[in-house]
Amino acid sequence: MTFPTPLLAVLFDRDDTIVFTDPQIYREAALWAAGRFGLDAAQVGQTLRAQWTDTMARWWHLRTLEEEATFWTDYGEELARRLGLPPAAAGEWMETYPYERYMKPVPGAREVLGGLRARGLKVGVLSNTLPSIDRTLEAVGLRDLVDVAVASCTLGVHKPNAGAFLHAAGALGVSPQAVLFIDDKLENVEAALALGMRARLIDLRGETEGAIHDLAEVLGLVDSVNGAGQDAALTAAR
């Protein structure tokens, strides 16, 4: 009789898994800019969204925080240009509404991450994102509960490439078999499974059958593999 390898770490995707972009902040930013610079709020909102979509491909190759800082400076200047504002407006805008301000923690995220750590597991985040992952997790109040945060841009390797997952497991100091991976994209879940990780799809909108719909379900998944109350055995295994 064989027993499954106990889970020693849970590796989370960031966006739409433990963090979400709040549309309300877009509205707030548009209203702020409309008032501050005498613009039409609806036009500002449209421009904000359009520019983010247009520049998606541009941040994919940023490797360092310095490169990212330059990217955001340029981003602010382009935003100002699109709205007919002087370049001086860009700095104030980007300082008032930086990237991380649009993010919110998924409800219950702190309890789930804390619960995993209380069970003796490590917590990792692996996100296809810009180098500033620490700053974003700090902004949503989760950084102190994360042992390892990996931004794919910093690696130059993005999910679903196996190298991204293996790097994260290595940084957590565990084998892929001891990792539970949670992501809202099926291709990433499948890539993790192919590496021997346990993995589950999450759909916080509650629409995908077979996916977990509430982040709190992760605690139950961990307990079902490790057996509730086996904290001592887990600790010994490390």
Binding residues for Mg ion, rule: CB under 5 A, are 13, 15-16, 184
Residue 13 or 77: the one with the smaller Cβ distance to Mg ion is 13
Q: How far is the CB of 183 from Mg ion (least distance, A)?
A: 6
Residue 143 or 185: the one with the smaller Cβ distance to Mg ion is 185
Rounded to whole angstroms, how far apart are CA atoms 113 and 92?
34
Rounded to whole angstroms, how far apart are CA atoms 35 and 93?
12
**Residue of minimal CB distance from Mg ion?**
15
Residue 71 or 181: the one with the smaller Cβ distance to Mg ion is 181
Q: How far is the CB of 160 from Mg ion (least distance, A)?
A: 12
Identity of the amino acid at 203: D
Rounded to whole angstroms, how far apart are CA atoms 67 and 26?
25
Residue 161 buriedness (CB in 10 A; 0-12 / 13-18 / 19+): middle
Q: How far is the CB of 140 from Mg ion (least distance, A)?
A: 14
User: Among all chains, which residue has been given the structure tokens 């991380």?
Assistant: 100
Rounded to whole angstroms, how far apart are CA atoms 126 and 112?
17
Residue 189 or 234: the one with the smaller Cβ distance to Mg ion is 189
Q: How far is the CB of 193 from Mg ion (least distance, A)?
A: 17
Question: For 181, phi and psi rounded to 5 degrees?
Answer: -110, 135
Q: How far is the CB of 132 from Mg ion (least distance, A)?
A: 16
Residue 90 or 103: the one with the smaller Cβ distance to Mg ion is 103
Q: How far is the CB of 95 from Mg ion (least distance, A)?
A: 27
Rounded to whole angstroms, how far apart are CA atoms 141 and 158?
25
Q: How many CB atoms lie within 10 A of CB 224?
A: 11
Residue 94 or 201: the one with the smaller Cβ distance to Mg ion is 201
Identity of the amino acid at 154: T
How far is CA 190 from each of CA 27, 161, 194, rounded to the nearest angstrom? 36, 11, 6
